[in-house]
Structure 1
C-alpha cells in the first residue's frame, strides 16, 4: 500500500506522514454506472493511493461492484429494495459493526436514507449530494441535520436545492466533482488522427462532443440550439443514453441539423 506521506504528483501536495491512515467506507447501492459511480470509484482509488484503507459497500449485481472488484478494491455486498428497506439497513449496520470504519460516506439518495442505521458505528458519517432537485422537505432536515455529521454538495445549485428543503446553508460544504486529469488528458496527435479517422471526419471538419446522461439537467438542448446557426463544417457527437434521447433527436430534426448531429448511445470507455 502506498506511503501515506508520499508526495502527491497530481496536486503538488504532500500528505501528512504523521497522520494515521483512515478506514473509509463508501456506500453506493445503485446498479447502474453513471457519473456518480465514476466519482465514487475515483475517490476510492485516490484514498487507497494515499495509504488509507478504503472500501465500498454496494450491490453485488451492480456495475460499480464489478468494476471495483476487478481493480482489487474490497467490496461488501448490500442489496437495497428501496429507500425504506429495513432489512437492508440492518445488513448495513452489521457490516459497519464488523469492520470498524472511521468514516462512512453515503453517495446516493438511497444510501443517504440508510444513514440513520449507521449512527454510533463510525467516527464520522458524511453524505454527498449530486442532484440539483429539491429533496423531500419532510425527511431532508432529519437526514442531513441529525443522521449524518456533514453534508457535501457538488455545486452551488445542489446546495441551493438542499437549503430549499430546510437544510441550513452553513451545514453544507460545496466540493466540486473531480476529474482524473491523467486519464482524461488531451489526446496525442496520433490518437487524435486515429479517432477522427474512426469517426469518418474530414480534415476541415470541426468536431464537438459531449458525454453524459440524456436528461433535462444536462442541458443538451442548449448545445443543439447553439449548433444550429454554426457553419456546416461543425458536427456534434452526443454520447450517452437517457429519457430525452428521442426528444433530442426530434429537436435536431426540427433545427435542420440531424445530418450534423450523431447520437452515439452509451460508450465504454468514455475517454
Structure 2
C-alpha cells in the first residue's frame, strides 16, 4: 500500500446542499471499532464507549456506532465461547446511542494479514446504505490501529470522509512486529486526517514505526468519577463475602499470562511468610489461565488466601477496589491501564509495572508505587512498603479527580472540528443519530 498522505483537500468532505449554511447543527461522528460493548459482552471495550459518552455529554455532537463482530453460524455449544458472537444483536441502543453490529469473516491462524481487507469488504455494503439513508457523518472515529484502523482507512477513502484513528496498546506495541501489518498501519495513518495515542509512550512508539509525529495527538483515557468512588471498606468487603479485618490486595484483569496474576500470587506467598502473615488476595476476571492460577495457589500453599471472583460487572468493580488496601497490576504490556485510575478513584492506591503509559498515571505517592522490576520479589517489597505507610484515601481520590473525561472530551471536540472543517460545537443538549445501517 502507498505510504504517502492524501492531500488535505481530499480529507475535508464537501457539504451537501441541504447542509450549506447549517453549520450550527451538531457535528456527526461515526465510531468504527470492534472494541465496543454489546448486549452479550457488555464490558468489552467499555473505555471506547465511555469516551464517546463523554463527548456527547459535552454537547454539540451526535453519534452512531458500527461495532463489527466476527461471523459465526450459530449459538450452538459446539462453538464454545465463539458462539457468543452469533448471539450479539444486529442492532441495539446503548445509553441512547444507536449501535450496529455487522458481521465480518475471520480466518483463524492464516487470516491476520487479510483481516483488514476482509473486514472492509464485508462492511462496505452497509456503509454505502449509511450514506444513502443519511445523514452522513462529518468524521469517522476508528479505534485500534489494526485491523480496525486499516479497514476504516479503506472505507473512509471510498466515502471521502475524514478519519481519526486511536491507537490503544498492542496494536502498536506488538502487531507492528509483523512486517505486512506494520506497513498497513503506517499506510492507514497516512490516509487518516489525524492519529490519537492514549499516552505519550505510545506516541513515541508510533513515531518509531514510521508515523509522522505531527499527525499524532495524545488524548488519554479518563475515569468515570461517578461510577468509581470510595465505598466504606468494611461494607465493600461484606458485599464480596470477605472477612472485614486484615490487609487485602486486589488484582484485576483478564486471566492471561501478560496480566501477571501469577506474579501477584507468588508475591502473596512471600508476604505471608514475611511481614504480612494475614494478607489476602482477590482476583477479579476470567480467562484461560484460571485453572493454572488456581493450581499455582495450591502449590504455593496460599489457596485459602486467594479468592477468585470471576467476571465482575464493570460497575461492580468499585466494591473490589474499595475493599482492597492496594491494587496490584503486574502487566507486561499496557497502553493506558484503566484499572489504575478506577482504583485510585475509589481511594485505593496501586502497585504497578513501570511500562508504557503507566508512569504517566502513577506520578505521585498519593497514586501508589511503580515497580522497580516486573517480578514477584519486587511486588512483595512494594506491597509491604505501601501497606506500611499508605496514602490517605482522600488524597488518592483527589489525585484521580484530575483524570476526569472532561479534558479528553474537549481535546477530542477540537480535533474533530479541525479535521471536519466545522466549528467547535457549543455545549448544549446531547444528541444521537437516527441513521440506519445495514447489517
TM value normalised by structure 2: 0.50
CA distance in 2, matches of 1:233, 1:79: 50
Change (3 A) 1:259 1:267: same
1:39 lines up with 2:42 in the alignment: no
Q: Secondary structure at the match of 2:104?
A: coil
CA contact (8 A) 2:90 2:101 kept: no
The residue that corresponds to 1:138 in the other structure is: 183
* Aligned counterpart in structure 2 of residue 24 of structure 1, from 26, 29, 36: 29
- Coordinate RMSD, CA, aligned: 3.2
In structure 1, the partner of 2:167 is: 129
Structure 1 unaligned blocks of 5 or more? 1-17
Q: What CA distance in whole angstroms lies between the structure 2 residues aligned with 1:253 and 1:162?
A: 42
Q: What per-residue deviation string (whole Å, max 9, x for no partner) do you get for residues 133-153 of structure 1? A: 23322312111222x222222
Q: Aligned partners of 2:86, 2:227: CA distance in 1, in Å?
A: 23
Q: Where does structure 2 lack aligned partners over 5 or more consecutive residues?
A: 1-22, 70-84, 107-114, 318-439
Q: In the alignment, what sits opposite 1:241?
A: 286
Matched, 1:50 2:58: yes
Secondary structure of 2:287's counterpart equals: coil
2:103 pairs with one of 79, 95, 99: 79
For residues 102 and 62 of structure 1, what CA distance do their matches in structure 2 show?
31
1:154 is matched with 198
Alignment partner of 2:45: what SS?
helix
Distance 2:143 2:251 in 1: 24
Count residues in correspondence.
250
Aligned to 2:77: none
Aligned counterpart, 1:103: 139
Instruction: Give the equivalent residue in structure 2 for 1:185.
Output: 229
- Give the C-alpha shift of residue 62 in structure 1: 8.2
Aligned residue for 2:103, secondary structure, equals coil
State the match for 1:118 in structure 2: 156
SS at match of 1:138: helix
Cα-to-partner distance string for 1:145-185 (whole Å, 9 max, x where unaligned): 22x22222223453355345433444333322211011111
Match in the other structure for 1:7: none
Structure 1 residue 251 corresponds to structure 2 residue 306: no
With the length of structure 1 as denominator, give the TM-score of the two structures. 0.77
More strand by share: 1
> Structure 1 pair 35/161, CA: closer, same or farther in 2 (3 Å)?
farther
Cα separation, 1, equivalents of 2:248 and 2:148: 39
3-state SS, counterpart of residue 251 of structure 1? helix
Aligned-partner Cα distance in 2 for 1:125–1:63: 30
CA positional deviation for 1:127: 1.1
1:197 aligns with 2:238: yes
Deviations 1:171-224 (A, max 9, x none): 33332221101111111x3xx433312333333222222332123343323433
Are the equivalent residues in 2 in contact too, given 1:126–1:152 (CA < 8 A)? yes
2:350 counterpart residue number = none
Instruction: Name which structure has the greater RCO, CA cutoff 8 Å, separation 6+.
Output: 2
